[in-house]
Amino acid sequence: EAGVTQSPTHLIKTRGQQATLRCSPISGHTSVYWYQQALGLGLQFLLWYDEGEERNRGNFPPRFSGRQFPNYSSELNVNALELEDSALYLCASSLPHHHPLNTEAFFGQGTRLTVV
């Protein structure tokens, strides 16, 4: 069974541009989480989507946005890129939030975004 897949693996953008990152969850998983892992800052929670709706977002400016599609895949969009947006962006998926066995998130390999 395929795990969580993210694309692209690497992305280089210039300051001010927009970046779109994609995530495909494990089959049967409806919850998708996005995290930013900047150097030295650990994992910072960005967004949580479940069954097509945004359930929660972390302490990030509005230029970080996303959506979840009917097939539960997800996009993360970062507008007006700044140099400090350079980071590894990790996507994770889990079973539906109401599922009693939903107690584990599976992570993708991440997208390395570099803003120059």
Nearer to another protein, 49 or 64 (CB): 49
Beta strand segments in the chain, E: 5-7, 10-13, 19-24, 31-37, 43-50, 53-57, 64-68, 74-78, 87-94, 106-107, 111-115
Nearer to another protein, 63 or 99 (CB): 99
84 near another protein, judged by CB under 8 A: no
Q: Apex CA 20: angle with CA 19 and CA 21, to 5°?
A: 120
Of the candidate residues 47, 64, 74, 108, the single one contacting another protein (CB under 8 A): 108
Stretch that binds another protein, among 11-19, 36-44, 63-71, 73-81 (CB under 8 A): 36-44
Quick check: 44 and 58 in contact, CB under 8 A?
Answer: yes
**Scanning the structure block, which residue is given the tokens 């989507």?**
49
Stretch that binds another protein, among 14-22, 47-55, 63-71, 75-83 (CB under 8 A): 47-55
Residue 110 has which token pair? Answer: 């991440």
What is the binding site for another protein (CB under 8 A)? 4, 31, 33, 35, 41-43, 45, 48, 50, 55-56, 90, 92, 94, 97, 102-110
